[in-house]
């Protein structure tokens, strides 16, 4: 347990350039969006008429890439420093959960500020965009946090598969995704299920769509990542 703590700290070594960088980038993206909407005079009142941007997704992408580098770069180094795979993975999972929660809280604070300022004075929706918009602050934190967890474990599984099977692994993963998803699309079209599928999706509450069902995917990726990392060699 003590060792897991050390490995969490190992993964945080140099954090200003990784975690800090993510927030600096998000801030820059936010400012560019704000400047852009002011410049083109797209000013409204935080309803459908006001300016909307999905650029908040950038921090999810940055953290996904962060998850990839944790395993492609920090993991081989940790293994060289006599860390065992199980401990590294446990530390990663712990840090991912903590980090997602903190990020969820920070994003929620930004969202509350966005609401309080009437969309940063110009009615811009940057944080509370689309299905991410929740009225309950607690649920809001969960909705922001869960996608980080899911994407983190997906990144872990992908990069661990790469470490273990290199390009063959990537090819098999891509090929099997094509077969599975392509097959589902063909099946749905053939059976004429699209109407039912869309109806089911629109019936789901936003929170469940963003932070409920994806958890199944996250759990599967987390389990698969754990099983895969056990036999990775340096």
Partner 1 sequence: MSTVVDVHDVTRRYGDVTALDQVSFSLAENRIHGLLGRNGAGKTTLMQILTGQNFATSGRLTVFGEPPYENEKVLSRVCFIKESQTYPQHFKVRHALDAARLLFPHWDEEFAATLLADFRLPLGRKIRRLSRGMHSMLGITIGLASRAPLTLFDEPYLGLDAVARHLFYDHLLTDFAAHPRTVVLSTHLIDEVGDLLENVLLLDNGRLLLDTTAEALRGQVVTASGPVTAVDTFAAAAEELHRESLGRYARATLRGSFGPAEHHRARELGLDVEPVSLQDIVIRLTTARARRADTRPDLDTAPGDAGHTTREAAR
Footprint on this chain of partner 1 (rule: CB under 8 A): 3, 6-7, 9-10, 13-14, 17-18, 69, 73-74, 76-87, 230-231, 233-234
Q: How far is the CB of 80 from partner 1 (least distance, A)?
A: 6
Closer of 13 and 40 to partner 1 (Cβ)? 13
The alpha carbon dihedral of 190, 195, 196, 201 has a sign of: positive
Closer of 85 and 208 to partner 1 (Cβ)? 85
Q: How far is the CB of 106 from partner 1 (least distance, A)?
A: 22
Q: How far is the CB of 221 from partner 1 (least distance, A)?
A: 21
Q: What is the C-alpha to C-alpha distance for residues 46 and 52, in angstroms, rounded to an integer?
A: 8
Closer of 24 and 179 to partner 1 (Cβ)? 24
Phi-psi region of 56 (alpha: psi -120 to 50; beta: other; left: phi over 0): alpha
Task: Please give the C-alpha separations between residue 98 and each of 13, 101, 104, 133, 225, in angstroms, as whole numbers.
Answer: 16, 5, 10, 22, 19
Closer of 75 and 157 to partner 1 (Cβ)? 75
- The answer to whether 221 and 154 have CB atoms below 8 angstroms apart is yes
Q: How far is the CB of 73 from partner 1 (least distance, A)?
A: 4
């Amino acid at each position: 347990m003590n060792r897991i703590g050390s490995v969490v700290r190992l993964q945080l070594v140099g954090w200003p350039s990784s975690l800090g960088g993510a927030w600096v980038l998000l801030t820059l993206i936010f400012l560019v969006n704000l400047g852009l909407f002011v410049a083109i005079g797209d000013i409204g009142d935080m309803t459908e008429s006001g300016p909307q941007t999905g650029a908040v997704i950038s921090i999810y992408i940055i953290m996904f890439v962060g998850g990839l580098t944790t395993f492609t770069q920090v993991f081989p180094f940790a293994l060289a420093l006599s860390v065992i795979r199980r401990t590294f993975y446990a530390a990663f999972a712990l840090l991912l959960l903590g980090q997602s929660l903190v990020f969820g809280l920070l994003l929620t604070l930004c969202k509350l500020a966005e609401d309080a300022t009437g969309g940063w004075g110009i009615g811009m929706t940057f944080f509370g965009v689309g299905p991410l918009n929740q009225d309950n602050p607690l649920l809001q934190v969960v909705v922001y946090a869960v996608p980080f967890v899911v994407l983190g474990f997906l990144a872990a599984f992908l990069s661990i598969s790469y470490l273990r099977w290199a390009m063959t692994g990537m090819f098999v993963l891509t090929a099997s995704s094509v077969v599975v998803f392509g097959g589902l699309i063909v099946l749905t079209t053939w059976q004429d299920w699209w109407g039912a599928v869309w109806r089911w999706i629109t019936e789901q509450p936003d929170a469940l769509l963003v932070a409920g069902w994806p958890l199944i995917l996250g759990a599967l990726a987390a389990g698969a990542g754990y099983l895969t990392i056990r036999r990775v060699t340096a």
